[in-house]
């Protein structure tokens, strides 16, 4: 059973990666040192065959000599080889293709701006890959990031790296690594007089004003001195009454309370009675 699940997981991951990799035809391939090229010159077997781009980016061919290849496209290199061979071959017919490439990719899936396959170089870190993918989405569970490498799954705490600036969490990648940034399940529910009511991700240390800002801020009809934060405590629920006027006008930070996952924040409209909105809300959520 475990082996079957592993095969199924591998198939699903493979399908995801195939869907994410952009075809090389979208941009013509650029030759790099270490690439093995297939050179075909019609009627000239001494020039035809595989050729490796040297570490300094050159291609060495019979008759044509050294040709700077790195940084050129296949069509550009074809034209250069053709021009060199014209000195020795009448109307040379040249074709150049990739036999083996040294290009290396890593993949990022999940809650980033642009999931997909990204070309990496030796020494690339997970922070560089996530940055290339446009950065994490607001709902990303950074602390629960995983790197899937062959038969291993390696946990990486991106929250330490991105939020706290702890460079020790900057994981070095290897070719074909798959970075999975999951979606956080830790949310708070914002209701009432805010611009965009709904569920929003919350992380350790987030305060009431952080959540209200994520919800687009208060409406003009909000009663800022009657905000309620409902929090489940065991089998019961506690309601904290918050006066944000004291925070905004008097810098009373005790009113800007720290939120916890599953908190419910309700902003009543002006003139609403506290019990009028609180009672049905408690009944609705079985609190």
CB 66 within 8 A of CB 76: no
pLDDT at 202: 85
What ranges do the domains of the chain cover?
A: 36-99, 104-181, 187-284
Rounded to an integer, what distance in angstroms lies between the CA atom of residue 168 and that of residue 156?
A: 10
Rounded to an integer, what distance in angstroms lies between the CA atom of residue 92 and that of residue 7?
A: 50
Cross-strand bridge partners of residue 59 = 67
pLDDT at 277: 63
Q: What tens digit of pLDDT does each residue of 141-187 get?
A: 888 899 999 888 999 988 888 777 888 888 889 888 899 998 877 88
CB 278 within 8 A of CB 248: no
Q: If we measure between CA atoms, which residue out of 234, 184, 182, 236 comes closest to residue 206?
A: 184
Q: Which CATH architecture has domain 36-99?
A: 2-Layer Sandwich (3.30)
CB 153 within 8 A of CB 171: no
Give, as one character, the DSSP assignment of residue 192: E
Is residue 161 left, alpha or beta, with left meaning phi > 0 and alpha meaning psi from -120 to 50? alpha
Percent of the chain with pLDDT over 90: 16
Query: In the block, which residue shows the tokens 């040192």?
Result: 33
The topology (CATH level 3) of 187-284 is: Outer membrane lipoprotein wza fold like (3.10.560)
> Residue 137 burial by CB count (10 A; 0-12/13-18/19+): exposed, middle or buried?
middle
CB 228 within 8 A of CB 265: yes
Q: What is the pTM of this model?
A: 0.49
Q: Is 36-99's fold the same as 187-284's?
A: no
Joined together, the tokens standing for residue 45 give: 């077997």
Q: What tens digit of pLDDT does each residue of 212-232 get?
A: 998 999 999 988 888 888 888
Joined together, the tokens standing for residue 242 give: 């918050």
> Residue 168 burial by CB count (10 A; 0-12/13-18/19+): exposed, middle or buried?
exposed
Joined together, the tokens standing for residue 152 give: 């291993």
Q: What tens digit of pLDDT does each residue of 61-102 get?
A: 888 889 999 888 888 999 999 999 899 888 889 988 888 776
Distance between first and last Cα of the chain: 41
Rounded to an integer, what distance in angstroms lies between the CA atom of residue 164 and that of residue 176?
A: 28
Domain 104-181 sits in CATH at: 3.10.560.10
Percent of the chain with pLDDT over 70: 85
Pairing between strand 58-61 and 187-192?
Answer: unpaired
């Amino acid at each position: 059973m475990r082996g079957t699940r592993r095969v199924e997981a591998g198939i699903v991951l493979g399908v995801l990666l195939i869907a994410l990799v952009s075809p090389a035809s979208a941009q013509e391939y650029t030759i790099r040192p270490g690439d093995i090229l297939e050179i075909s010159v019609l009627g000239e077997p001494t020039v035809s065959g595989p050729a490796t781009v040297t570490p300094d980016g050159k291609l060495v061919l019979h008759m044509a000599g050294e040709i700077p290849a790195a940084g050129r496209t296949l069509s550009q290199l074809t034209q250069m080889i053709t021009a060199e061979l014209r000195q020795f071959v009448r109307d040379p017919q040249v074709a150049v293709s990739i036999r083996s490439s040294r290009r290396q990719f890593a993949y990022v899936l999940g809650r980033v701006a642009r999931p997909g396959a990204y070309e990496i170089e030796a020494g690339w870190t997970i922070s560089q890959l996530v940055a290339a993918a446009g950065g994490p989405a607001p709902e990303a569970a950074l602390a629960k990031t995983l790197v899937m490498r062959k038969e291993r799954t390696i946990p990486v705490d991106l929250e330490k790296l991105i939020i706290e600036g702890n460079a020790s969490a900057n994981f070095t990648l290897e070719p074909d690594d798959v970075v999975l940034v999951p979606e956080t399940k830790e949310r708070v529910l914002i209701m009432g007089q805010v611009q965009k009511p709904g569920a929003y991700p919350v992380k350790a240390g987030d305060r009431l004003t952080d959540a209200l800002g994520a919800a687009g801020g208060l409406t003009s009809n909000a009663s800022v001195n009657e905000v309620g934060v409902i929090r489940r405590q065991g089998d019961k629920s506690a309601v904290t009454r918050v006066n944000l006027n004291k925070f905004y006008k008097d810098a009373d930070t005790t009113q800007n309370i720290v939120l916890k996952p599953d908190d419910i924040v309700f902003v009543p409209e002006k003139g609403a009675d506290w019990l009028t909105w609180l009672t049905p809300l408690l009944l609705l959520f079985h609190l």
